[in-house]
Amino acid sequence: MMLIACSQLNIVDLLYPKVMNSIITGDVKRFATDDDGEIESQKMFVLAMEMLSSEKQSTIDWASAGIPIERFYYDFVKEALYSTDETILKEWLNGLCDQHLKWCARAPDIMEEATFMGYEVPDQLHLWPFEYHAVINIRARHGLSTPVIDHPLLTNNFKNMAIPDFSQWEKPTWFTEVSEELIRINPDLAFTRDLF
């Protein structure tokens, strides 16, 4: 989701097939399952993967994969992502921001509100509506504008957060050394050479 929100769609496009394969093989389910064998309804992952799948006119059978989903995010993609009806889109976007606040409003010391219980928005992202920015970027890729909505999450300093221009980044020497070592350990990561 962060890559989509930060306009790193080229990286997302390269990772998508690998993540889809992880859903199909059960790796995602194993990763998301807690020690008691339970798996919480997935949220940001569902939103990101459904947005990317929709671009490929593809579907994900979450039930067959054994991954419970937070229905709002699934429905958002189906009902609003490509909508040209501004009224409907604004309602869904406000709902998306409400969901962001819902999953931030937690007390980490209370077991029922721990990260693994679905309160998965990291503390450092509480004030940044990254889901909204991800939607803006996916819609823009399809030539669609996204309306500005009147929501408290969009009236803070992070509403228009500057997205860094990663094309200007110059990798430090150590980065290549670490990358090559990772590729040596896992040759499937060789595609990353083309990214940086």
Domain boundaries, the chain: 2-164, 166-196
Q: What is the torsional sign of CA 83, 91, 136, 24?
A: negative
| Residue indicated by tokens 């219980």 | 117
Q: Provide the angle, in degrees to the nearest 10, between the axes of the packed helices 71-79 and 86-104.
A: 160
- pLDDT tens, position by position, 152-182: 877 765 555 556 666 677 778 888 888 888 8
Phi, psi of 39 (to 5 degrees): -135, 125
pLDDT, tens only, 31-58:
888 777 888 888 888 999 999 999 999 9
pTM to 2 decimal places:
0.72
3-state secondary structure of 42: strand
